[in-house]
Amino acid sequence: MHTERREGAPMDATTRPTLESVAQRAGVSRQTVSNVLNAPHLVRADTTDRVRAAIDALGYRPSSAARQLRTGRSRVLGLRLEPVHDGINGAVLDRFLHALTESAQARGYRVMLFTAPDDAGEIAQYSELLDTADLDAFVLTSTHRDDERAAWLAERDVPFVTFGRPWGDRPDGAAAHPWVDVDGAAGTRAAVAHLRRLGHERIAYLGWPDGSDVGEDRAGGWAAAMVDAGHDGFLLRRLHARVPDGVAAGAQAIERVLADAAPTAVVCASDSLALGALTVARSQGTTLAVVGFDDTPVAAAVGLTSVAQPLSEAAQRALDLLLDQLDGTGGTRSREVLLAPHLVERASSRTP
């Protein structure tokens, strides 16, 4: 038996709400509902509130396929999921990805993940995804000098943003692409200042081999802070170890530096290196103070003081810069965002 649905009653599970049903419930035209969804600046606030209430009551969700036909946009963003070389530091990009996905979803976008073994493979994926999945834009991570990924996208006018600055000098007149990064030098400077307040002066540094722009940025902050404290270059060279990232490498490096320069504290380019140094300090029963970088979950678990990156803010700012390009709403907002990290103090911060 057919029963007419009462006005205002929720639709049954087999009936999908439409623009027409939302318009009828809100007492407006179908075009007004469309404007609320796609051009809210054209609609009065009280009308917008009424339409939004009808959308919530009916559980209406716009058709993504119809919206793509209308706007020419898929509202999908691409990001390469990099191989995990270290389970400790891999957590950094995981947290950035989670924050980016959450922010994008709140603004009606989705993040499509893909893999590639290197930059050339990533570029090949760009080409394929633009042809087959019609992605709107890309988010790049792990930037470096002569980054061909950014050049490829820029040459084809594909919107993108990078989590990481464009390292190296740009050609005269070249415009910088939008980027968000964290000031690594400020982080290691803060670590040295923190250790000096505790009474340390001979502060070592465990960093990465030459060739890492991020590594050089972090090492530069430590070196500048130590020079400001009155230490000469000869001592700094003895206190500075360059090793591949990893717990074992950190342990071996701090043993050498302890034997050669007798530091009372060490700042590290990563939590992996710091964990190695902390393991040696505890096994030898020394009072060596240790500070890591990235504030990974492991740092919290073992009581390691670490420099924390504002990853949620970085993801939000990166998304803002990306949507500025897609929506043309950037205005005077800066396209280059350098965020300040902060120090999270824990038990590994010890006095000499």
Cβ burial, residue 1 (10 Å; 0-12/13-18/19+)? exposed
* Residues 218, 267 contacting (CB under 8 angstroms): no
Secondary-structure percent of the chain, ordered helix, strand, coil, rounded to 5 = 50, 15, 35
Name residue 259's amino acid: A
- Which residue do the tokens 């950014």 mark? 150
Cβ-proximal residues to 239 (8 Å cutoff; 6+ apart), any chain: 202, 203, 204, 205, 226, 257, 261, 263
* DSSP symbols for 30-95: HHHHHHHHH-GGGS-HHHHHHHHHHHHHHT----HHHHHHHHS---EEEEE----S-TTTHHHHHH
Tokens of 3: 């029963």
Q: What is the pLDDT of residues 167-197, one digit of tens each?
A: 876 655 455 789 999 999 999 999 999 999 9
Q: For residue 345, how many C-alpha atoms fall within 13 Å in the half-sphere facing its CB?
A: 11
A 10 A CB-CB count for 133 gives 13
> 62: closest CA among 102, 43, 30, 34?
34
- Say whether pLDDT at 28 is over 70: yes
Q: What is the pLDDT of residues 280-330, one digit of tens each?
A: 999 999 999 999 999 999 999 999 999 999 999 999 999 999 999 988 766
Give the alpha-carbon dihedral of 220, 226, 231, 236, to 10 degrees: -50
* Residues 261, 204 contacting (CB under 8 angstroms): yes
CA 201 to chain centre: 33
Q: What is the pLDDT of residues 326-351, one digit of tens each?
A: 887 665 667 899 999 999 999 999 99
> 161: closest CA among 136, 183, 186?
136
- Name the 3-class secondary structure at 187: helix
Q: What is the pLDDT of residues 86-137, one digit of tens each?
A: 667 678 889 999 999 999 998 889 999 999 999 999 999 999 998 888 899 9
Tokens of 96: 């950035």
* Lowest mean pLDDT segment, chosen from 166-175, 200-209, 236-245: 166-175
Cβ-proximal residues to 39 (8 Å cutoff; 6+ apart), any chain: none
